Chain A
Amino acid sequence: MTRRIKAIEKAPTGIKGFDEISGGGLPKGRPALVCGSAGCGKTLFGMEFLVRGVLEFNEPGVFVSFEETGEELVKNFVSLGFELERMIAEKRLVMDHVHIEKSEIEETGEYDLEGLFIRLGEAISSVGAKRIVLDTIESLFSGLSNTGILRAELRRLFRWLKERGITAVVTGESGGRTLTRHGLEEYVADCVIFLDFRVTEQIATRRLRIIKYRGSSHGADEYPFLIDEKGISILPVTSLGLDYRVSSERISSGVPGLDAMLGGRGFYRGSTILVSGTAGTGKSSLAAKFAESACTRGERCLYFAFEESPDQIIRNMGSIGTDLKACFRKGSLRFHAGRPSLYGLEMHLVTFHKLITEFKPHVVIIDPISNLRTVGEQRDVKSMLTRLFDFLKMSRTTTLVTSLSTAGGPLETTDEEISSLIDTWILLRDIEIQGERNRGLYILKSRGMPHSNQIREFLLSNRGIELVEAYLGPGGVLTGSARAAQEAKESAALLKARRETERSIREHERRKKALEAKIDELRAELDSEAEELHVIVEEAMKGREALAAERSEMARLRKAEPGRAPGSVPEEKGD
């Protein structure tokens, strides 16, 4: 009773992700039930709980198997890198195979399971165990027929374990209506974990759910998990909400032209970028360029390739001047390649999660996400991507995903579903004019930055990626040779116009000169006329003087009046 008052103490399992969703592990010193159908991973869960206990928390353990022998278990778990034999030799782990074969046992009268208790007690004290796994204790029900005794003894067993303060994992096979075939959940009431192994459309997905955890809060969702060469990994992410902190740092896309379109500074760090387009529009090339630029900045990049092998990507991108090989050799670029149909969506999510947690990349590329649609329903894909993107955002990882749009269909709608998750959406499309295909790029949206609304022609050459302003004329967007032709035409027209102008200027100059010459001529004419006039006037003056002199002479000669001054010609005229 006193235990319930203070917060429940927990025993960390060391199983990846489980301690996060359970708020610290299994209830310490109490039994927990792990149930599920055959092959769901119950035994592994139990074994990993023990092994991690030994290795990471210095808590020795006992594994009581009711189904497999110790040797079988050792063999099975060697493949998972669990060195059980060594732990057994070091007296940190005990394995006990409880063999019950109904055909060998006859029951008569009353009995109890004291023998089992003694065995457990012996095993526990031999290593000083703090943890125990009973896998699958329900086998007792098939070996012994007196269920009345069994139930009473099981109840006593769990009480007995509790008294000893042993953290126990009890596994149980799920029954039709109940969680376990024999209702073990009635006895182990503190913590019940359900493991599920579902196959939908031939793709298997493992999920874990904490059905009950008395005295503790816990995640209530179904968490997908993965079993791989390192054991169980549970993905604690379901929905993280939208309270992550954002960065205003900008990083280059690796293509200067694209950076220019994105307000001149590229993507936001930690944003989610979608590059969509039809086949062969250069999505992967753009993605690879981004990867290269991240590695050049000294960052780590994780590249999920769902279509090509890493070698092929490296070779192909080398041909357009993107050197991924160096990045790969340096270790800053890591690939994870595989067909999407390799496993289910949830498994992909867990893989993503696991690799990202291990490698801690700055940039994640998924090329392409559209392939995931072959694995699951649209709704499931969206839910999976939401969780993935949220997780990546939380860790401030910039994510670039490519998506293949179906040719012929409307380009935008194919990716409509995930549009809300995307910060920057780049659309690549084929532009088909005059019998040739060219690539066009435009930015459909880019949250939080001014961005170009224009279409650019997207050129791939051995020098790399170039963005060229496409010709926008009355006939629409022109690209490729049509653009070149149009450009040539335009420059010819321009030249012609310039020549025209030059000629007009020259013409004008010439005419101006001609007119000026004429003006000079006329002026000269005027001058000469003025001169002539002067001469005439002078001559006339001279003639009059001469006449006057002649008159005075005449008057003198005729003895005219002496008062008359010589030269008073006008008066003379009046005569």
Chain B
Amino acid sequence: MARSSTEKKAEGKKKREVWILKLYVAGTSPKSIRAFENLKKICEEHLSGKYRIEIVDLLKNPKLAKGDQIIAVPTLVRQLPPPVKKIIGDLANREKVLVGLDIRSDVRKAG
């Protein structure tokens, strides 16, 4: 909660930017599928038209785990806008995802 004040300032810029989200998974586990579905829903609701989701399967690209500092699966990485943010888990808790991705205005609306 402490960081909310600082991040509010950057909010204006972010709205115009493209959101690039990477979802790291390992094969097609139920968790990964759930995570993708949850993410897709949230994005459609809050970032409609200005987001892109990339799925990275670590089983196919194991080297990326080291390069992108991934340990947990699934991991959602907000590549853009900066700063890089990470959310791990199947993204079941909607509010946490919104806070984690720093989609502030929408959080307020939802709340």
Residues of A whose CB lies within 8 Å of any CB of B are 96, 98-100, 104-116, 118-119, 121-123, 140, 144
**How many residues belonging to B are interface residues under a CB distance threshold of 8 Å?**
34
Closest to B102 in A: A106
Overall SS of chain A's interface = mixed
Q: Which residues of B contact A121 (CB under 8 A)?
A: 62
Interface residue from A110, A112, A122 paired with B62 (Cβ < 8 Å): A122
Q: Are A108 and B26 in contact (CB under 8 A)?
A: no
Interface residue from B66, B74, B88 paired with A123 (Cβ < 8 Å): B66
Q: Are B90 and A113 in contact (CB under 8 A)?
A: no
Interface residue from A118, A123, A140, A144 paired with B58 (Cβ < 8 Å): A118
Minimum Cβ distance to chain A for residue B9 (Å): 18
* CB contact list, B30-85 vs A, under 8 A: 31, 34-35, 38, 58-59, 62-63, 65-66, 69-75, 84-85
Q: Which residues of B contact A111 (CB under 8 A)?
A: 31, 72-75, 88-90
Closest to A104 in B: B86
Q: Are A115 and B84 in contact (CB under 8 A)?
A: no
Closest to B71 in A: A116
Closest to B27 in A: A114
- 22 A/B residue pairs, CB under 8 Å, sorted by A: A100-B69, A100-B71, A104-B84, A106-B86, A107-B89, A107-B96, A108-B87, A108-B90, A108-B92, A108-B96, A108-B97, A108-B100, A110-B92, A111-B74, A111-B75, A114-B29, A114-B72, A115-B72, A116-B65, A118-B58, A118-B65, A122-B65
Bound-state CA distance A107–B87 (Å) is: 6
Bound-state CA distance A56–B29 (Å) is: 42
B24 at the interface (CB under 8 A from A): yes
Q: Are A144 and B62 in contact (CB under 8 A)?
A: no
Minimum Cβ distance to chain B for residue A63 (Å): 13
Q: Chain B CB within 10 Å — which of A99, A115, A123 has the most?
A: A115
Closest to B97 in A: A108
Minimum Cβ distance to chain A for residue B56 (Å): 10
Bound-state CA distance A553–B33 (Å) is: 201
Give 16 new A-B contacts, CB below 8 A, not counting A112-B73, A116-B71.
Answer: A104-B85, A105-B88, A108-B89, A109-B35, A109-B38, A110-B31, A110-B92, A114-B58, A114-B73, A115-B72, A118-B26, A118-B62, A119-B66, A122-B65, A122-B66, A144-B88
Bound-state CA distance A119–B26 (Å) is: 12
Bound-state CA distance A99–B66 (Å) is: 10
B4 at the interface (CB under 8 A from A): no
Bound-state CA distance A105–B26 (Å) is: 19
B91 at the interface (CB under 8 A from A): yes
Bound-state CA distance A114–B100 (Å) is: 21
Q: Are A105 and B87 in contact (CB under 8 A)?
A: yes
Bound-state CA distance A115–B35 (Å) is: 15
Q: Could you count the A-B residue pairs with CB atoms below 8 Å apart for me: how many are there? A: 97
Q: Which residues of B contact A99 (CB under 8 A)?
A: 69
Q: Which residues of A contact B34 (CB under 8 A)?
A: 109
Residues of B whose CB lies within 8 Å of any CB of A are 24, 26, 29, 31, 34-35, 38, 58-59, 62-63, 65-66, 69-75, 84-93, 96-97, 99-100
Q: Are B93 and A109 in contact (CB under 8 A)?
A: yes
Bound-state CA distance A292–B69 (Å) is: 63
Bound-state CA distance A112–B29 (Å) is: 11
Interface residue from A106, A107, A119, A140 paired with B65 (Cβ < 8 Å): A119
Q: Which residues of B contact A110 (CB under 8 A)?
A: 31, 89-90, 92
Q: Which residues of B contact A106 (CB under 8 A)?
A: 85-88, 96-97, 99-100
Q: Which residues of B contact A114 (CB under 8 A)?
A: 26, 29, 58, 72-73
Bound-state CA distance A48–B5 (Å) is: 47
Q: Which residues of A contact B96 (CB under 8 A)?
A: 106-108
Minimum Cβ distance to chain A for residue B82 (Å): 12
Bound-state CA distance A535–B67 (Å) is: 160
Q: Which residues of B contact A113 (CB under 8 A)?
A: 71-73
Closest to A150 in B: B72
Q: Which residues of B contact A115 (CB under 8 A)?
A: 24, 26, 58, 65, 70-73, 75
Bound-state CA distance A113–B88 (Å) is: 10
Minimum Cβ distance to chain B for residue A337 (Å): 49
Minimum Cβ distance to chain A for residue B26 (Å): 4
Interface residue from B59, B72, B97 paired with A112 (Cβ < 8 Å): B72
Q: Which residues of A contact B24 (CB under 8 A)?
A: 115
From known contacts A109-B92, A114-B58, infer whether A96 and B74 are also in contact, taking CB-CB under 8 Å. Answer: no
Q: Which residues of A contact B74 (CB under 8 A)?
A: 111
Minimum Cβ distance to chain B for residue A60 (Å): 17
Bound-state CA distance A233–B74 (Å) is: 44
Minimum Cβ distance to chain A for residue B57 (Å): 10
Bound-state CA distance A471–B31 (Å) is: 100
Would you list the 9 A-B pairs with minimal beta carbon distance, nearest first?
A106-B100, A109-B92, A109-B89, A109-B90, A108-B96, A115-B70, A114-B73, A122-B62, A116-B71
Interface residue from B66, B69, B85, B91 paired with A108 (Cβ < 8 Å): B91
Bound-state CA distance A119–B58 (Å) is: 9
Minimum Cβ distance to chain A for residue B90 (Å): 4
